[in-house]
Amino acid sequence: MKEAQVLGPLFVKGREPTMNDIITTILNHRSIRHFEDKPLTDEQIKTIVLSAQAASTSSYIQAYSIIGVKDQEKKKKLAELAGNQEYVEKNGHFFVFCADLYRHTLIGKEEQKDVTQSIESTEKFMVGLIDASLAAQNAAIAAESLGLGICYIGGIRNNLEEVKKLLKTPDRVIPLFGLAVGYPAKMTEQKPRLSFEHIYHENEYEQSMATYLQQLREYDELISDYYEQRTGGKRKDRWTAQMAKMLENQSRMYMKEFIQKNKLDLR
C-alpha cells in the first residue's frame, strides 16, 4: 500500500481505490515533456513492443503497426510537423502507432479472396484504431513500469501527408499518434479528471440533464481551483470553457479526405 498523496489531484474527490503496484503505476501517470538525453536500449524497446503486442486484438486481426524512429533528422522533422514540440525530437525513443490494414490487403491478394469491401468499411477502420490504441496503452504502462516517462503526441495528425512521406507508410496505414518515451528530466503534475460519477454510468446513460450539467459545474469548480492553486491565482480557467474554445477552433479538418485517400473508412 502506497500512501494516498502520491496519487496527486486525480483523486481529490475519490475514495482511495484498492491498491497494488500496477494500479499505483497506472494512477500515477502523468505526461512527461522533458527527457534526459539517454536513448532506450534495444532490449527496452523490445520489451515495450512485445508488451504492446500482448494486448487484445479484434478477432485476432492485429490491425496495427509500430514505427520506431531513431533517425535524428526524421525526429526533428516530426517535431516540426507536430507543432514544434521539442520532446518529439528529444527523448529516449519515439514510437509511431499506426492503424494498419495494408497487410490484410496483401493477404487478400495472396489468398485470392475479395477482402476490399470489408477493409474499406468504417467498421474495419474502427478496428484498426482500437487495436492500435490498446497496443499503445500497453506500451505506455510497460514503459512507465520501467521507470520511464511517456507522452502521447496527437500532433503528428497535424499533417499526415508529410508524416506518411517521412515514414513511407503505404495505403491503408494511418499513423495515429506518437509516443515519446524516455527518462524523465522534469516531472509534471497530474490534471484532475472528470468525476467518476460523470464518466461511469450504471445500466444506462445518465438521463437527467440536471444531474449531468451539475456534474460538469462541480468539475469546473475543481479545475478552476486547481489552476488557481497551481498558478498562484493567475489562471482561473474552467474545463468547459477550455473545451468550448478548443472545439470552436476547427482543426485537422482534412482528416476525412486523407483517410479516404488512403482507402479506409470509405463505405
Instruction: Give the binding range for a copy of itself (CB under 8 A) out of 47-55, 82-90, 181-189, 225-233.
Output: 47-55
Q: Determine the length of the chain.
A: 267
AA letter at 226? Y
State how far the alpha carbon of 131 is from the alpha carbons of 80, 126, 164, in Å.
27, 8, 20
* Contacting a copy of itself within 72-131 (CB under 8 A): 74, 103-104, 106-108, 110-111, 113-115, 117-119, 121-124, 126-127, 129-130
Nearest to 226 by CA among 5, 24, 10, 26: 10
Find the binder of a copy of itself among 3, 208, 210, 249 (CB under 8 A).
Answer: 249
Which of 248, 250, 249, 228 is CA-nearest to residue 238?
228
Q: Which one of 58-66, 83-91, 180-188, 224-232 is the stretch in contact with a copy of itself (CB under 8 A)?
A: 58-66
Residue type, 67: I
The site map against a copy of itself for 174-193 (x = CB under 8 A) is --xx-------------x-x
Output phi, psi for 188, to 5 deg.
-120, 165
240 binds a copy of itself (CB under 8 A): yes
Please give the C-alpha separations between residue 79 and each of 34, 91, 154, 173, 175, in angstroms, as whole numbers.
14, 11, 11, 20, 15
Q: Say how far apart CA 85 and CA 100 lie, in whole Å.
A: 25
Q: Which is nearer to a copy of itself, 20 or 84 (CB)?
A: 20
CB of 31 to a copy of itself, least distance (A): 6
Figure out which of the listed residues 78, 136, 180, 181 binds a copy of itself, where binding follows CB under 8 A: 136
Nearest to a copy of itself of 234, 253 (CB atom) = 253
**Binding to a copy of itself (CB under 8 A): which residues in 138-177?**
138, 140-142, 145-146, 150-152, 154, 157, 166-170, 173, 176-177
